[in-house]
Structure 1
Amino acid sequence: MILLVDVGNTNIVLGVHSGGKYIAGWRISTDPKKTSDEYSIQVTQLFAQNNLKPLDVEGIIVSSVVPNIMHSLENMLRKTFNINPILVGPGIKTGINIKYDNPKEVGADRIVNAVAAHEIYKRPIIIIDFGTATTYCALTKSGNYLGGVICPGLKIASEALFERAAKLPRVELEKTNTLICKNTITSMQAGIVYGYIGQVEYIVNRMKKEMIELGEEEPFVLATGGLAKLIGDETNVIDKIDAQLTLEGLKILYEKNKE
């Protein structure tokens, strides 16, 4: 049984994999103020609710884009599971070639997604991760990670509109039936959601063009992240939504580095 941990700016996603399948999964809030003991209580309770024993965990791998949480989180994992976790970062075996100007700048989440996409799909691919930030990554068939785009996520865009415009309210991220809206709330929802869809379509089509100019076949477009379905249902530029992509990448990286 292995524990997969993906630390994002908003949530920490945990998955337990055993016997060739996922047997449990949870999403908890990312909170740098929590101590290792507080995280330990929370994770131990989650294991107990699923009739799982922490000492049955044989290995742990962690991907994080939140450096100031790692001291508490690593301490918690060592105390709760009596295991030194594998950390996704410089020096880890990935099976892909990172062509960034400075490979150390590439976020761990982007590396994990790229590893999963390359191992599973074996084709030129554009990966869109709809998280706190939305990232677009270009990967060749041979496994060269070319780079990509980082944009404010949907929730960031929505919060910015609420915080910076005095008369505009905070709204839920929902699709509207029309674009010609007749009240402030639906007008904001339409602008945020459909404006973002337009952004996705432009960036994907431009990235496809650049990859084809480099000699790649037309890339497959893969989306993941909490808001992937909201956008993916309204555009034909996304070929597939894979909600488990990051956990799959962590599992693959664990197998490559467990020795």
Structure 2
Amino acid sequence: MRLLVDAGNSRVKWAVYSAGACVAEGAIAHADADTLAAAWAPFALVDGWASNVASADLRARIDAASPVALTWVGAARAAFGVINHYREVGEQGADRWLAVLAARALVAGDVVVACAGTALTVEALTAGGDYLGGLILPGHHLMQQSLARGTARLDREQGEHRLFPQGTSDAIASGIIDAQAGAIERLRARLAQASGRPSPEVVLTGGGAAALAPHVAAPVRIVDNLVLLGLLRVADAS
């Protein structure tokens, strides 16, 4: 059995695979990392693969919890026919690279990969395998918190997305969704313009994907745990 671990900005997501199938998965807050040892103890693990965009301390806690040595994966200049055009590959979050590698296995053509978590990342990948880079902006809760902390009267309960918001809570919710969907659509339009091909598919993942998907034009689909799928692809090729 193979252990896969994605240490993100807010949570640690993990899965156990056997013979190519997922047999268990989970997600915990960083503060609960010490519970991972008990969660993984029932499995006859033979190896483990992990990525981390959080702290070195969290990585150490995950290493201590794992019953097998973990191979920590970072961004690379090339893999699986994908060329990484990031200027400094070493500064790029491994989660972004792994999400792109997973999306390449799912979509043969041009694709925009959006991970909606603590941050929203939006990546552009061409049909020819050129990963052109992408965008990073605050996720839904970070945007909402910034308004609550930075203004005198915008600490409001969660509103709903409206075409024409007529209340402050709805105006905030609508502004956040439209900003995030707008970032996706702008990068999508740039990729189509650069390639000369039709508007590419969008692959969405992350805890905010379901709320965002209805506001992104088709074709769009949600794929859960895209970073873990990227890790699995790297592990299977090792």
> Could you say which TM-score interval applies, normalised by the shorter chain?
0.7 to 0.9
Partner of 1:189: 173
Match for 2:69 among 80, 84, 102?
Answer: 84
How do residues 62-81 of structure 1 correspond to structure 2 at under 5 angstroms? 62-68=50-56, 69-77=58-66, 81=67
Distance 2:17 2:3 in 1: 7
Distance 1:66 1:252 in 2: 22
TM-score (norm 2): 0.88
When you count strand as a share of all residues, which structure comes out higher?
Answer: 2
Is the CA contact 1:9–1:65 (under 8 Å) kept in the aligned structure 2? yes
Q: Which runs of 5+ in 1 are unaligned?
A: 32-37
Match for 1:253 among 224, 229, 234?
Answer: 234
| CA-to-aligned-CA distance 1:96-145 (integer Å, 9 cap, x gap) | 32111122122100111111111232222111111211111111223222
Partner of 2:187: 203
Is the CA contact 2:53–2:93 (under 8 Å) kept in the aligned structure 1? yes
Identity %, equivalent residues: 25
Answering whether residue 152 of structure 2 is matched by residue 166 of structure 1, we say yes
SS at match of 1:233: helix
| CA-to-aligned-CA distance 1:18-67 (integer Å, 9 cap, x gap) | 23321211110124xxxxxx734x124434xxxx714x011111011113
Is the CA contact 2:116–2:204 (under 8 Å) kept in the aligned structure 1? yes
Partner of 1:61: 49
Partner of 1:34: none
With over 3 angstroms needed to count, the CA separation of the structure-2 counterparts of 1:135 and 1:144, relative to structure 1, is same
TM-score (norm 1): 0.81
Match for 2:93 among 77, 101, 107?
Answer: 107
**Paired AA for residue 30 in structure 2:** T
**Paired AA for residue 21 in structure 2:** K
How do residues 36-55 of structure 1 correspond to structure 2 at under 5 angstroms? 39-40=33-34, 42-47=35-40, 53-54=42-43
Is the CA contact 2:75–2:97 (under 8 Å) kept in the aligned structure 1? no
With over 3 angstroms needed to count, the CA separation of the structure-2 counterparts of 1:92 and 1:192, relative to structure 1, is closer
Answering whether residue 24 of structure 2 is matched by residue 24 of structure 1, we say yes
With over 3 angstroms needed to count, the CA separation of the structure-2 counterparts of 1:92 and 1:7, relative to structure 1, is farther
Distance 2:128 2:16 in 1: 30
Distance 1:209 1:171 in 2: 39
> Who wins on radius of gyration, i.e. which is larger?
1
How do residues 121-132 of structure 1 correspond to structure 2 at under 5 angstroms? 121-132=107-118
With over 3 angstroms needed to count, the CA separation of the structure-2 counterparts of 1:207 and 1:224, relative to structure 1, is same
Partner of 1:153: 139
| CA-to-aligned-CA distance 1:168-188 (integer Å, 9 cap, x gap) | 22433x533552323x32332
Partner of 1:223: 204
Partner of 1:175: 160
Is the CA contact 1:93–1:256 (under 8 Å) kept in the aligned structure 2? no
| CA-to-aligned-CA distance 1:224-259 (integer Å, 9 cap, x gap) | 1111111111221552111132221111111122xx
With over 3 angstroms needed to count, the CA separation of the structure-2 counterparts of 1:236 and 1:91, relative to structure 1, is closer
Distance 2:100 2:163 in 1: 36
With over 3 angstroms needed to count, the CA separation of the structure-2 counterparts of 1:10 and 1:238, relative to structure 1, is farther
Give me the CA root mean square deviation. 2.4
Partner of 2:126: 140
